[in-house]
Structure 1
Amino acid sequence: MPLAPEEKRLLCQLADPEATAPDAALWSDARLGRLFELARAHGVLAIVWRKLRGAARGEGRSEAFRADIERIETEHTLTVGRAMLLRHHAARIGARLRERAIPAEIVKGPVFADRLYTHASDRTFTDIDILADPGDLDGIGAALADCGFVLHEKVWDNSARYLEYKWFFEGNPQLMVEAQGDLVHYPSLRRRLSFGYAELKAVSEGAEPSPAGMLIVAAIHALGGHKFHRLQFAVDMLQAARHIVDEAALARAVARVGAELEVGAALHVTADLFGDARTAALADRFDGGRRGALGRRLLTADAVLDAMPKPSRGSHLRRHGFRWLQLLRA
């Protein structure tokens, strides 16, 4: 079922970690259930659950709805528990990489959760992403094997092509580590835009990840590795934008890696989704000329929101059209 305009407005309000939750005590079971369904599909269930759990547990709810809420709460608890286990293994892996003097960085999930979100549990993640130079991936694989992880291998495997290798903890395949040589997965796109370990350190030089570096990682994750098919990508962009204090430094970092199109489009659609003035001001620094204008026409708020639970034809065409725009050299 396509999202109604009111559902889109409410979903964005609920998905913003800093926005005040609406009073949902009198909402119907159907309305609450629908919003939980959309939140799960868009990767923002943890935020929406934090805001709506009181209303969902209120008096007068049907038995069927209470059963659904129990399943949602169980799912959330399991997700939080898995994240805790992943953090434990990430610490073990990090120590082993330091012992072997292999330069690598954990990116996305736990880094965003800890550094961009007031409530770290708002940013759930289902794996650990390690970014390193392609030449160091064998060494990382050896370290992962030492820590009890097994390389996922199948008959048809694009790991070498995508520079993305999946490792699963032996005995618990729910725990996964992805060793990546580039956050831009597609070779055809990497001819124009590449973001590996060297680029990460170029935009985030210190031992701790910089706000600019995290914002660029969020944009490239959304539009270099994926096609912005979930609202979670926009929430990461929104939170990263809120941490930017030096706009000129961000502009220099984006120019250094040639990601103006991706960062500009991601900021513009995020500003539209959440009506955030700070994000809109940052977006205006990345006009992008004709390509940027076309990118903003393709990657719209509706294109993102209508991508889940089942992509509409319009969303599919717009997001894939943006990918074709990315493939064109400036």
Structure 2
Amino acid sequence: MSASNEHQSQNGDLGQVLCDLADPQAEGPFADACLALPPKQLFDAILHHGIEPIALRKLTGILPQEPPYPTLIDAVRERQLLANAHALVLEAHALQLTTAIDAQGLNAVIVKGQVFAKALYDRASDRPFTDVDVLAHPASVPAVGAILKDAGFLLYQKQMFDNSARNMEQKWVREDNQNILIELHGNLVHYASLRWRVSFGHDEYWTASGDGDFPNVAYFMTAVIHASAGHKFHRLQLLADVMQAARKLTEEDIRHLNTVLDMLRARLEVLVCLDLVCALFGDEASRHVRDSLSPGREYGFARGLVTRDAVIDTWNDAGHRSRMRRHAFRWVQRVAPR
């Protein structure tokens, strides 16, 4: 077997194991499939893809109690204990912040990690998060910043080349513990050159939610934008969020999504995310959502750029094949008709 074919074969086996581990509702991988992989390779990929909590409970019962597996499992377990403790601290700050936002009637909402963990996953601990994300209307950003300052947070800015204003993203850290981070977003699309093509600020979030009547659609669109326009599909966790959100959509939710999708100008991102979820996980709920979307632009070329392997290989991108495909998709996002 050539070196190239061997690389593809190992990535194929690893990819299936990672997908089985990343899906919180799927059965775990077969022990033989896990044991056929180099242990360090497997655990490095799990860490990179942000799926340690789900992998921990699936692997604990199938890996042998012989080196190096106990050491690797213990390291994951220790990281998860620390992550869970950190999440509790973040939740306390998030509650304090939400109470102040509501009291002042500000147009701001907590999004992403903490919300996904509770709303999309049966076990909140399956979705780790390391900060609190607040999406605020630009007019409300100063008032939310004042709340954070009064609560003991400092606005972190680089001394040179700080892009907070351009990216519409502020980072606030506790004065007494800079590991406690709250990110204040005016828009979840941080790239200014992309934002004029696809935007997802507080107004778009509220549109997706149907003025609060369809929260699941807002969660779904947030996950799509986070994976495709906030990042470049660089972790399985991002697409697991999309899958979990798609699984929550009712038929009424899907009808609402159909009515607002073109208003949000994100049909390309939705289709590519659903294609990837189907390719990675074979998820029937996501396939149903994709097939239920009203006819519109199909974006055939763009949908073929980011492949299943391109997502899996982000952890060890030999030859930069994954990077080139994902950056090519970002270019298409900037020029594709909306």
The aligned residue for residue 260 of structure 1 is 267
The aligned residue for residue 131 of structure 1 is 135
The aligned residue for residue 97 of structure 1 is 101
The aligned residue for residue 12 of structure 1 is 19
The aligned residue for residue 75 of structure 1 is 79
Aligned to 2:315, the other structure's residue is in SS state coil
CA RMSD, Structure 1 to Structure 2 (Å): 2.1
Q: Is 1:269 aligned to residue 273 of structure 2? A: no
Q: Is 1:88 aligned to residue 75 of structure 2? A: no
Check whether the contact 2:206–2:212 (CA below 8 A) recurs between aligned residues: no
- Structure 2: state its 5+ residue gaps: 1-6
Aligned with residue 231 of structure 1, among 224, 232, 236: 236
Provide the TM-score with structure 2 as the length reference.
Answer: 0.90
- How far off its partner does 1:226 sit? 1.0
Q: Percent identity?
A: 37
CA deviation string 1:176-214 (max 9, x = no partner): 100000011111111111111011111113557611111
Q: Is 1:44 aligned to residue 51 of structure 2? A: yes
Give the 3 Å change call, closer, same or farther, for CA 309–74 of structure 1 in structure 2. Answer: farther
CA deviation string 1:70-94 (max 9, x = no partner): 2221111111111111111100111
- Range with bigger deviation, 225-234 or 311-320: 311-320
The aligned residue for residue 119 of structure 2 is 115
Q: Which amino acid aligns with 1:282?
A: V
Q: Is 1:170 aligned to residue 175 of structure 2? A: yes
Give the 3 Å change call, closer, same or farther, for CA 150–286 of structure 1 in structure 2. Answer: farther
Aligned to 1:84, the other structure's residue is in SS state helix
Aligned to 2:31, the other structure's residue is in SS state coil
- Range with bigger deviation, 275-284 or 158-167: 275-284
Check whether the contact 2:205–2:218 (CA below 8 A) recurs between aligned residues: yes
Q: Across the two proteins, how many residue pairs are aligned to each other?
A: 326
Q: Which amino acid aligns with 1:121?
A: S
Check whether the contact 1:261–1:286 (CA below 8 A) recurs between aligned residues: no
Distance 2:307 2:30 in 1: 28
Aligned to 1:105, the other structure's residue is in SS state strand
CA deviation string 1:150-178 (max 9, x = no partner): 11111221100000000111222211100
Check whether the contact 2:112–2:223 (CA below 8 A) recurs between aligned residues: yes
Check whether the contact 1:25–1:55 (CA below 8 A) recurs between aligned residues: no
Distance 1:13 1:40 in 2: 15
Give the 3 Å change call, closer, same or farther, for CA 29–301 of structure 1 in structure 2. Answer: closer
Aligned to 1:167, the other structure's residue is in SS state strand
Aligned with residue 195 of structure 2, among 185, 190, 197: 190
- How far off its partner does 1:31 sit? 4.3
CA deviation string 1:101-147 (max 9, x = no partner): 22210001111111111111100111111001112111111101111
- How far off its partner does 1:24 sit? 2.7
Provide the TM-score with structure 1 as the length reference.
Answer: 0.92
- Structure 1: state its 5+ residue gaps: none
Distance 2:173 2:153 in 1: 5
Q: Is 1:298 aligned to residue 305 of structure 2? A: yes
Give the 3 Å change call, closer, same or farther, for CA 287–293 of structure 1 in structure 2. Answer: farther
Give the 3 Å change call, closer, same or farther, for CA 287–39 of structure 1 in structure 2. Answer: farther
Aligned to 2:134, the other structure's residue is in SS state strand
